[in-house]
Every structure is written in structure tokens, then in C-alpha cells.
Structure 1
Amino acid sequence: MSQRPALARVLGTLVVAAATLAAEYGSGVNLVLVNALGTQPQVTYLVPVALIVAGVVLGPAVLLFARFAQAMPRAGSAYVWMTRTVGQRTGFAASALYLVGVIGSIGFQSYGFAVFFASLLDAVGWHAGAVAAASSVGHIVLGGLLILAFTIAQLRGISSFGRIMAVMLGMVLVVVVLTVVVCLAGDPGAYLRHAADLLGHPVQAPADSTPTLGAFVGVLVLFVYSYGGVSAAPSLGGETRDGKSLSRGLVRGWLIAILLYAAVAFSVFHAVPWYAVHPLVASGHQDAATVPGIIAVLAPRAVTVVFDLFVIVVAGKTVAPLMIDCSRIMYAWSRDGLLPASCARTTDRQVPIVPILVTSVLGLLFVVEEATAGFQIGVALRSVTFMLVIAIVGLGWLRLRALPARRPSWATELVGRRELLVAAPIAVAVAVALMISGFVQPNTPLLLQPGVQALITLAIAAVLWVLAVRRNQGRLGEDQAASEMERISG
């Protein structure tokens, strides 16, 4: 374990910002944005506001993560930050929960890729192909091919990943511009007529459209998912040039996401009356409530085809940073002795091959889960565990501040950041509030509830911990993890 691993520190601020946005802008905004009304109809017309508020309330957490990223840019950053501040057992358990949420999100994003692919086939007139792509088997096959493509891309090296993310940033901007232009020019009456045709009856605005606080908070929890790049991008810490590149890229990616989400959300709900969405979702017409489905109603066929092509790529690319996130966390686990040493070995292209392959297999399993049972793990559990990580990182900073005698040398500048005296407690409070709200989801089977899935994950993590202790002859421990920052490289 004394040998420093061979990860390549080549990524700059632009790639980190692009990766932050890439882990966010995809199926989350194109699929979850409108369908949130299907889950929480009583949020009514506040969906766009909820999407923006979800990003704003994460501001203190973004600042907290940025300061940690500058002080300790490491592979699997969030895991490293937690273990080096609150102890290895707690950090490992939290990162295990988070990892399952991210892998579930890989399944959800791959599922969304198949949905948008089916929309494209329908737009070009191949209805039989669209039906096949939209089936459970179609979702699994297309999602599996997407994961395979990004597995190969990752094995080619982190520089290839960086180039892909830079190109994807440009494609995201194109999708946003098309969405805003079409929706602002669209006629809300056209969408209402389309909804009436699908439902077989006119859609009327309810007499009472007052949103409820519970529904608003519930949607906030779902929309936290749309800012998951805040936790995913720091895992590139072992491959960024330095801490400043990681920190700046993280903040810039988050700010860009808020601006783009605001433009898309308000333009979409300009063209789509909110009260038309829930009846469509409830009657099984979810595809009509996605952004590509809305564009298909409002735009000429040629524009729809071009839009769908871009959305397929933009939605699919979200899988790449999520896979990086998972594989680097496993890599960091291995460096700490929690997984076999083979998981920390890198190839000639300086990538950890075993974690990448394991991530791919688990991602495929979750594609099957998403296609057959639902996206509670991929969206709800990821949001909840993202909040858990924020809370623990915040508590870790407060612990460093309160216990100077146990403070490692790398944390000296970090604890001197006075802005974190405000940001860290706020980040913890927001995270705990949203986490409590998200552990129980309405209209969800018991086995798929985030709380139940979390208990299952903790049981598996406990087994891994026991195996790791036996493999390392009892040398694992919180004090060891807290004192040996340099065991995770680059």
C-alpha cells in the first residue's frame, strides 16, 4: 500500500465543470422534470421554482465540497473526506449507501436513454421499432449497449473521457437553446388538445391550484437528483491537475446547471399547463410528459428529429461521469484495504480496470431493475444518500474545527475558512431535512422504499467490512484512516 497508484493528473477546470454538468443535465431534466407532477401533483405550478430552489439550497454544500476539493483532491473524494474526518467505519458505510444510489442512477439514466431512443424512432416514422425500444427488453438491451460503450471509452484512459465531456458540454447547450426556443414559441392550447386526444376527454384546470408544502419538499428531494454532479465530479480528484482546478470546475458546473435548468423549466411550463401532466402520467402516457414528447407536439417533424438525436446523446452521456464516480470510490476503498488490492491496480492507460468492470456489471443489473420495478433506487435513493454524504462531510469539517488536537496538517487551511462556519451548519441542516423527507416515498412498494434499500445496503457493507478486517488481519480502523491521508493518491 505504500506505492502511489498511477492515476493520471491531466484534467483541468473545463473538464471538471463539464463532468459536473454531464452528471446532471440528461434524463434528470428531460424525464424527471415534468414527471415530478406525476409523483407529487399537489406541487402544482411550482415545479420550475422547486428545480431552481433545489440547486440554490445546495449552495452551502457546494462551497463546502469546493473547499474540501481544494484541500484534498483525491480519487473518490467524498469517501476520503468522510473517512479522514469522522472515521473509516462511518465514512465507508455512508459511501456504500451513496455508491448504491449512484449505480441505481446509472440504471435510471440508461433507462432514460432507451425512452429517448424510442421517441426518435417514433419521430422518424418507425413505430414498430419505437414499440420495441420502449419495451422492457428494449430498455435492457439499449441500456446495456450504452454502458458497454462507456466502459470501453473509460478503458481508453481519462484523457479520452475529458475530451468526451468537453464535446458533451456543447451538445447540452444546443439542447437547451432548442428547448427554450420551441417552448417559448409554442401554443399551450396545442399541448392541451394533444393531451385531450390521448386521454379521450378535455383537460380542465382544477378549481383549487394551491400547492402544498409537503409536495414542494417532496419534489425538492427528487430534484436534488438533478444536481448529483456536485458529488460525482469530485471523484475525479485523483485525475485533476490540482485542487484549484477541481474546486473551480465544481462551482462553475453547479452555477451553469442552475442557469440552464431555470431557462428550460420556465420555458417548458410556459408551453405545458401543469394540470395536464398528472392525468397523462396517471393514465400511462408518461412519454408525452417528457421534454422530447413535448417538443414532438410543438415543433415540426424535422426539428423534433434533430432534437431527439441531441437528447439521446445528452441523456446517454450522463452515464459516463456516474461510472467514473463509482469506479473511483471502489478504487479508494481498495487503497484503504476495504477491497482486494487488485481493485487498486491500474492499466498502462492509468485506469483502475477492476472497479470499472464491476461498475459496468452492477449498472446493467440496475438497468434490469429500472425496467421491471421502477426508478426509486435510481432517483430517490441517490438523492437521499447524496444528502447523507453532505451531512457527514459538513459534520466532519465541524469536528476538525472543534478538535484542534486531532487535526491533521492538511486540514489547517481548510478549518481556517471562516465562510464555512456558516456554510457547513447550513449544509448539514438542509441535508438532514431533505434526507428525512426522502426516505419514504409515496405510492412505492415496501421493498423499493429508499429506507429499506438503505438497510439492505448497510447489511452488505457490514459483510464487506468484516471480510476486509479478516483480509487485513484486523489492521483496519478509524484512527488509521483518519491519520493517513496520503494512502489515496492523485
Structure 2
Amino acid sequence: MRTKPVDRIVAEGGHGEGGELRRSMSLLQLTLFSVGATLGTGIFVVLGEAVPKAGPAVVLAFVLAAVTALFSALSYAELAGTIPVSGSSYSYAYATLGELVAWVCGWCLLLEYAVSVSAVAVGWGSYLNEFLEKAGAGTMPAAVSGPPGDGGLLNLPAVVVVVFAALLLLRGTSESARANTIMVFLKIAVLLFFCAVAFTAFRSGNLSPFAPMGWAGISAAGSKVFFSYIGFDAASTAGEEARNPRRDLPLAIVLSLAIVTAVYVLVGLAAVGAMHWTRFSLSGSEASLALVLDQATGRAWPSMILSLGAVVAIASVVLTVMYGQTRILFAMSRDGLVPHVFQRVSPRRAVPVANTVIVAAFIAVLAAAVPLGRLVDATSIGTLFAFALVSLGVIVLRRTRPDLPRGFRTPLYPLTPLIGIALCVYLMVGLGSVTWIVFALWTLAGLVAYFLYGRRHSRLAAETSGVPGRGPR
């Protein structure tokens, strides 16, 4: 239950083995990093699975998930402005709830980031096939274009986009941020193009009945589409590379969530208005927006443009979420809880090279072999758990360190973080029993890893106990 002093966490920021991270990211780049990590995961990939659960009321499911994310985002904003380091909620938990809870939080973030990247990479492959088919080039062979659950043997396109993102990250943070900015603007333009075309085929009758499954359906779809809000906290993982972290991190988190929510609701309404909700379950395609345009226009070129835009734009999600994953492992390694190879920084590039390569390899294997649906649910439950811990961390830090300078203070305290915790628990309950079993097994594996390695190599443990030989190896 030992906690790491906030002053020490902040003082260690940016320092790794062999070099330092550079403070190069502006408010715009931080905001677009969070938008890039968020926008696309739900709309491009998960919408087709959520609509059959709620019908046209999937729009309300997006709002429910957005409200849940908002309460968590306000807590994130306060802690990001107070503890501006790379570890995100892992570091916040270490400062407030203790080492064991921080480890479990970090372990859940590994699930959130690595698995969400894998899921998005799978969706990227679907849109690539959609584009190739519309362009008359055919599709990639099943043996290399889909995971085992979808009848294939290996999802090669998913591996390709992960490798592309890794190579870009290895070039440096500034280069990655610039590439992400371009891809985010392209992604927003593509989604606005979708809305413009889909609204030409809008039929009010498609919205009736609005909520065929009632509130239970909206709630179930809300748990599913919460996956689409994962990533708004990406800016908090850049705490050690932001130029003005105390001011910019809270602003970036709240602004990115507002932008993403507006786009999701608009696209969701356009989709269910253009195509009857019952047809989503018959599509059998993860490229659901392209199907909507096919049905709405009867022509191939609109969906071809959308698919091409998705191929480019979803790559930004892979890029930014992989970035966040490497920075969280960087912080955990600096504390001795994972091997020190994850904190080695290249003096020339100012990036953790070995960390990036290891993460990319793990994600590529996962994306190549695991079906999309399993990835989405496993990611959501790990994320909701981490978000609940962040809200709890705000309450604890307000009581234990009220003197700390805060770049942002959560409004209506303590009501806001308490509601955030309650909503996270509510959406977790809405997930299936298989997902809970996977989460329990993942957590158990994390506890085993902590007691076998993390607890024995913890730098904080070595300093507080004075036992020689402890600390990172």
C-alpha cells in the first residue's frame, strides 16, 4: 500500500535510462493526439455491432457512454494537471492508492491500450478489403485477411498497420505528432463526407420504433460503444513531452472529448436514418459505414472514398494508442515494476526504442490472431476499471494533498468523481459473463506477475525497506 510522493513523481518526469524525453507537444497536438486515439474506433469499427442491440437509440447509447467518459475525463483533467507525467492513471494511482493498486491499474492499461490497438487494426483490415473490392482489385485471400474467428488464418493487414505505426513512432515524437495531425483532419473530413451523403437518404421511418429493445438495449449498446471513447486520455500519457503540461493537458482532454462526442452522435444519427437498423445485423461486415453508403446511394464511389479515408485515418488510432502504451510501460519501468529495458531512451531520437519494438510485436500477434468482438469487450472492461480508479484518486489526493498546485479542479467535487465511479461500475455490469471471466483471469495473471517480479524489484520498496539487492534489474 506504499504510495509514491507526487513531488518525486513529477521530478522524475522525462528521465529514462540513457536519455530524456523532449517537451515538444503543443496544445493543438495534444488535443489531436487524444482525438486521433479516440475518433474512429467506435464509428468505423463497432457501430455495426452496437446498432442491433439498441436500434436507432444507438444515438442515446453514444450519449450514455459520453456522459460516463465526461465524468472520468474531468477527473483525468485534474490529475493530469497535478501530476503531469507519462504514466497516466498508473502514476495517479501510485500517488494516491498505493503500489499494488497502481500495478493493477497499469496492468489494466496494458489490456486497454494493447488490445484496443489490436481491435482497431482488425477493423483497418476490413476497410482495406472494402476499398480493394470497390476499386476492382479484389480482396486479399481469406488466409491472410481475417483472424481465425472470421474464417481466416492470419490477419496480415492488421500486422502491416501496426508495423507502419511503430516505424513512425521510432522516428520521434514530433514527427509522429505531425503525422497524426494530418490523419485526424483527414478522418474528420471523411466522416463529414459520410454524413453529407447519408443524410441525402435519410428516412424518418427508419427511426421508428426508436428504442425497440428499451432501456436494456440502450444500456447494453452503451457498454459496447464505450470502446469508442477509449483514447481521450491519450494526452495524459504525453505529460513528459508537453510544453506546458499543467495548462495544456486538462484542456486537451476535455476538448478532445467534446469534439469526438459531437462527431459520434452526428454520424450515428446519419447511419440509422439512412439504413434501417435491422439490416446492420445482416451485414456481417465490420466496415459498417461503407455498407450504409452502398445502401443509401446504390453506387460504389462514395463507399470507396469512405473506405480509403478509413484506411488512412484509422492508422492514426493505432499510432497514438501505441504511443500511450509505450509511455505507460516507460513509467512502470522507471519504478522498477517491469524490466528496465522499457525505459531505455535513444539519445538521438529521444524515444524508447526497445519498448516500442516489443509493444509493436505483441500487438501485431494479437491483431493477427484474435477476432474483433472479443477484443472490444475485453478492452472496455479494463478501461472502465482504470477510469474508476482515476475518479477515486481525485478524492484521495484532495484529502491527502490539498496543497498541491492544480492546473484544473474537477467541478462539483466530490459529486463528479463519485458519479464517475458509479457510471463506470454500471457499464461494467452491462458486459457479458465471458468478459468478466477474461478480466478476472487477466487481473489474476497481473497479481502473479507483481508478486513474482514487481514487488521484488520495486525501487520504492528498496528505498523504504533498505534491503540491499532490491530495485530494478
| TM-score class normalised by the smaller sequence | 0.7 to 0.9
Cα offsets for 1:428-477 (capped at 9, x unmatched): 11112112222x25xxxxxxx22222222223322332213334599269
For 2:85 and 2:416, locate their aligned partners in 1 and report how far apart those are by CA, in whole Å.
Answer: 22
Q: What is the aligned partner in structure 2 of residue 335 from structure 1?
A: 334
Question: Does 2:132 match 1:121?
Answer: yes
Instruction: Select the residue among 21, 25, 41 that pairs with 1:11.
Output: 25
Query: For residue 420 of structure 2, what is the aligned residue in structure 1?
Result: 427
Written as runs of structure 1 = structure 2, the 5 A alignment for 1:13-32 is: 13-32=27-46
Against the structure 1 CA distance between its residues 454 and 286, is the aligned structure 2 distance closer, same or farther, given a 3 Å change threshold?
same
Going from structure 1 to structure 2, the CA distance change for 1:436 and 1:352 (only over 3 Å counts) comes to: same
CA contact (8 A) 2:250 2:407 kept: no
3-state SS of paired residue (1:239): coil
SS in 2 for 1:76: coil
Contact map agreement 1:101 1:379 (CA 8 A) in 2: no
Deviation at 1:219, TM superposition (A): 1.0
Distance 1:383 1:182 in 2: 31
Residue 456 of structure 2 aligns with which residue? 470
State yes or no: 1:305 paired with 2:290. no
TM norm structure 2: 0.86
Matched, 1:104 2:115: yes
Name the CA shift for 1:158/1:478 in 2 (closer, same or farther; >3 Å). farther
* Residues 337-382 of structure 1 deviation map (CA, whole Å, 9 limit, x = unaligned): 10122221101211112221121111012113324xx432x21122
Aligned match of 1:364 = 364
Percent identity for Structure 1 against Structure 2: 20
Equivalent AA in structure 2 for residue 115 of structure 1: S
The aligned amino acid for 2:289 is V
Distance 1:293 1:91, change over 3 A: same
For the residues of structure 2 that align with 1:207 and 1:322, how far apart are their CA atoms?
37
Change (3 A) 1:275 1:153: same
Q: TM-score, normalised by structure 1?
A: 0.83
Matched residues in 2 for 1:234 and 1:473: separation?
Answer: 23
The one-letter amino acid paired with 2:444 is A
Q: Judging changes above 3 Å, is the alpha-carbon distance between structure 1 residues 422 and 313 closer, same or farther for their aligned structure 2 residues?
A: same
User: Aligned runs of 1:6-85 on 2, under 5 Å?
Assistant: 6-38=20-52, 40=53, 43-85=54-96
Structure 2 unaligned blocks of 5 or more: 1-7, 467-473
CA 1:169 to 1:45, structure 2 compared with 1: closer, same or farther past 3 Å?
same
Q: What is the aligned partner in structure 1 of residue 5 from structure 2? A: none
Q: Could you tell me which residue of structure 1 aligns to residue 318 of structure 2?
A: 319
Q: 1:416 to 1:477 in 2, by over 3 A?
A: farther
Give 1:304-453 correspondences, 5 Å limit. 304-347=303-346, 348-371=348-371, 374-376=372-374, 378-402=375-399, 404=400, 407=401, 411=404, 413=406, 419-438=412-431, 440=432, 449-453=434-438
* 1:153 equivalent in structure 2: 168
Deviation digits for residues 71-126 of structure 1, max 9, x if unmatched? 11111211100111101101111220231132111111110011000000110122
Matches within 5 A, 1:183-262: 183-186=198-201, 210-241=212-243, 242-262=245-265
Question: d(CA) in 2 for partners of 1:459 and 1:207?
Answer: 43
Number of matched pairs: 444
Matched-pair contact (CA < 8 Å) for 2:280–2:288:
no
Cα distance in 1 between the residues matched to 2:79 and 2:359: 25
CA distance in 1, matches of 2:238, 2:44: 26
Distance 1:171 1:33 in 2: 20
Deviations 1:146-174 (A, max 9, x none): 11111110011100111012101210221
**1:168 aligns to what?**
183
2:385 corresponds to which letter in structure 1? L
Q: CA deviation at 1:128?
A: 4.8
- Offset, 1:24: 1.6
Q: What is the distance in 1 between the residues matched to 2:465 and 2:420?
A: 26
Aligned equivalents of 2:234 and 2:195: distance in 1? 27
Deviation at 1:29, TM superposition (A): 0.6
Distance in structure 1 (CA, Å) of the matches to 2:463 and 2:418: 27
SS of 1:318's partner is: helix
How many angstroms apart in 2 are the aligned matches of 1:303 and 1:420?
47
Which stretches in structure 1 are left out of the alignment for 5+ residues? 193-204, 442-448, 481-490
Distance 1:60 1:226, change over 3 A: same
Aligned partners of 2:335 and 2:459 also within 8 Å: no
Counterpart in the other structure of 1:263: 266
Distance of 2:265 and 2:447 partners within structure 1 = 41
Cα distance change on mapping 1:286 and 1:247 into 2, 3 Å: same
State the partner residue of 1:296: 294
Confirm or deny: 8 A CA contact 1:13 1:249 kept in the other structure. yes
Which stretch of the first structure deviates more once superposed, 48-57 or 170-179?
A: 48-57
Q: Using the TM superposition, give the Cα deviation of residue 142 of structure 1 relative to its aligned residue in structure 2, in angstroms.
A: 0.9
Please list the CA deviations of residues 385-426 of structure 1 after superposition, one character each: whole Å capped at 9, or x if unmatched.
221112111112212333x4xx385x3547975533221111
The one-letter code matched in structure 2 to 1:54 is A
- Contact 1:385/1:435, CA 8 A, preserved across alignment: no
- Find the aligned partners of 1:412 and 1:234 in 2 and give their Cα distance: 17
Q: 1:414 to 1:298 in 2, by over 3 A?
A: closer
